[in-house]
Amino acid sequence: MAPKWNKGRQIILIEKIENSSKRSVTFSKRKFDAFKKANELSNLCESDVAIIIFSGGGKAFSYGNPNVYAIFDQFVHANSQRALNSASHEFLETQDFTCVREMDARIIEAGDNFKLEQERQKNVVIEDG
């Protein structure tokens, strides 16, 4: 029997995929790989990891170890403590907090999307089961 020759792993140029169905499939595969790498990083380095990925359609996907909410709470509390204990407190008071408000809104929106995704997955499991 003759050996099979395949292309194996190839280097892919990083550019936008024009075909929407191919782009969707690639997103799905890469999303899974990103979550897998985050899990490996968390396990190997005993670190807390959170990832939120938004699809082209605006749908949010998240992974967190131990969970996304715990890591966001830890991040927000750590940043607020640093700001309060900083020697440059006066500078921080004069700074425009628009970016902080936008990030808070995004975190809340991502949390809401995460809850909706969890509910959708529960419904899918119930319907299949």
What does the pLDDT read at residue 3? 62
What does the pLDDT read at residue 109? 87
Question: 103 is written with which tokens?
Answer: 């990030």
Residue 3 lies in a domain: no
Provide the CATH number for the domain around residue 101. 3.40.1810.10
Residue 76 lies in a domain: yes
The answer to whether the pTM exceeds 0.95 is: no
Residue 34 lies in a domain: yes
Residue 1 lies in a domain: no
Stretches in the chain below the pLDDT threshold 70: 1-4, 79-101, 125, 127-129
Tally of domains within the chain: 1
- Digit-coded pLDDT (tens) for 27-45: 988 898 999 999 999 999 9
Residue 124 lies in a domain: yes
Residue 105 lies in a domain: yes
27: nearest Cα among 50, 63, 49, 59: 59
Domain residues for the domain of 29 are 20-128
